[in-house]
Amino acid sequence: MNVRVNEAEDPNSLTLRLGSGETLALESGARLDRLQIAYQTYGALNADRSNAILVCHALTGDQHVANDHPVTGKAGWWVSMIGPGKPIDTDRFFVICSNVVGGCMGSTGPASGNPETGEPYGTDFPVVTISDMVRAQKLLVDHLGIGTLLAVIGGSMGGMQVLAWASLFPERVFAAMPIATAAKHSAQNIAFHEVGRQAVMADPDWRRGRYRVEGARPVKGLSVARMAAHITYLSEPALQRKFGRKFQDRDAPTFSFDADFQVESYLRHQGITFVERFDANSYLYLTRAMDYFDLAADNGGSLAAAFARTKTRFCLVSFTSDWLFPTADSRQVVHALNAAGASVSFVEIESDKGHDAFLLEEPNLFATTRGFLDAAANARGVGKAGT
């Protein structure tokens, strides 16, 4: 494993650095100076710059979507989806994925140095929103000389970004594919996020957000937050199928607080591995961004107004066992798009894998993605793979 010390400051990725004169104006009214955006690309941009697909990552994802991760050494989080001949075919498409603003893998976030102090921002970092993430990505797309993206695609928090892209910059999005997402975060989802934040902030090593300056790390709190969140990414049937009440390396209960059950051992492992690669303050900021997301509220209370007169073609996907972003959330977006007269298709995929299904081997998701992107590319006159 190649453990890199500071991906936040010195990422093992391409970077766009804004000059000192350029700032990103945030939805809160704050401004970010000397913004850095870390990103990866796959495939080649064609001559008329019409084959670019922007992938938006989820809460704990990052730009390492189809290459080995520089910290964990593991394969990219969507390597099953992106590559030569894969549903997002890098023989045909130019794929971009950038770390969100507020993240910890090289785009400016709470773990980055505050240019005013030279120290990590910590909780002096301004609260960012999904639309702030999208406006940072647009700076990158502008920088790459791409006018209209062929497609913007992503799941969960990534899907929120897709919706925000299509709403804020409809003329820059030829096709949009929001997966397992919603136009607003539900009360239950805010509640789970708040539990995670309280778990982090309860850890004395959080040091009121100044742990990097003070040489501490709130690993226990962040691990508990991850464990709680991880349950919501799965489904009861999947947990039952994978673990049930099976014991871990034993035949009978120990009558103790050891991880007797496989599901306990699995969860503990999820917590431990997560803290190795993720910044606790980033976790606070990105969960907050999701909580604040409410596209209808941003458009006078009308979700249809968020997509008025859009020419973007949409394909929404949900999964039957996803209880974090249930099908009803996607259907609400579909209704609004229909009311706005948009071109929209919607696929609910039968799966017992819960919210995480969008990251897993789901042949129906692969087929849907391939079909939708190929049709969009054909409609736009993008050449086929190898041509």
Point out which residues bind a copy of itself (CB under 8 A).
27-30, 123, 126-127, 184-188, 190-192, 194-195, 197-199, 201-204, 220-221, 223-224, 227-228, 231, 234, 236, 239-240, 242-245, 253, 255-257, 259-261, 263-264, 267-268, 271, 284, 288, 291-292, 294, 297, 323
Name which of 198 and 378 has its Cβ closer to a copy of itself. Answer: 198
Q: How far apart are CA 334 and CA 123, in angstroms?
A: 37
The CB-of-197 to a copy of itself minimum distance in angstroms stands at 6
Catalytic residue among 193, 291, 355, 356: 355
The CB-of-26 to a copy of itself minimum distance in angstroms stands at 8
Name which of 7 and 260 has its Cβ closer to a copy of itself. Answer: 260
* CA distances, 236 to each of 88, 125, 239, 357 (Å): 30, 37, 5, 13
Q: Are 121 and 112 in contact (CB under 8 A)?
A: yes
**Single-letter code of the amino acid located at 371:** G
The CB-side HSE value for 75 (13 A sphere, CA atoms) comes to 8
Name which of 28 and 117 has its Cβ closer to a copy of itself. Answer: 28
If one counts every other C-beta atom within 10 angstroms of the C-beta of residue 172, the result is: 18
Give start and end residues of each alpha helix (H) in 218-324.
219-233, 236-242, 262-277, 280-292
If one counts every other C-beta atom within 10 angstroms of the C-beta of residue 253, the result is: 10
The CB-of-249 to a copy of itself minimum distance in angstroms stands at 16
Indicate if 156 belongs to the active site: yes
Name which of 30 and 305 has its Cβ closer to a copy of itself. Answer: 30
* Residue in the structure block whose two tokens are 């990158």: 140
Indicate if 269 belongs to the active site: no
Could you give the 3-state DSSP secondary structure of residue 174?
A: strand
Catalytic residue among 322, 330, 351, 356: 322
Q: Are 25 and 38 in contact (CB under 8 A)?
A: no
Could you give the 3-state DSSP secondary structure of residue 348?
A: strand
Report the candidate in 193, 200, 161 with the shortest Cα–Cα distance to residue 58.
161
The CB-of-13 to a copy of itself minimum distance in angstroms stands at 28
Catalytic residue among 131, 156, 223, 318: 156
The CB-of-230 to a copy of itself minimum distance in angstroms stands at 8
Name which of 27 and 348 has its Cβ closer to a copy of itself. Answer: 27
Name which of 318 and 368 has its Cβ closer to a copy of itself. Answer: 318
Quickly list DSSP for 18-82: --TT-EEE-TTS-EEES-EEEEEEES---TTS--EEEEE--TT--S-SSS--TTT-PPPTTTTTE
The CB-of-129 to a copy of itself minimum distance in angstroms stands at 8
The CB-of-19 to a copy of itself minimum distance in angstroms stands at 26
Name which of 91 and 264 has its Cβ closer to a copy of itself. Answer: 264
Backbone angles phi, psi at 238, to 5 degrees: -70, -40
Name which of 248 and 345 has its Cβ closer to a copy of itself. Answer: 248
The CB-of-160 to a copy of itself minimum distance in angstroms stands at 14
* CA distances, 231 to each of 120, 162, 290 (Å): 31, 25, 18
Instruction: Give the residues across from 103 on adjacent strands.
Output: none
Indicate if 322 belongs to the active site: yes
Q: Report angle CA 286, 279, 12 to the nearest 5 degrees.
A: 100
| Catalytically annotated residues | 156, 322, 355
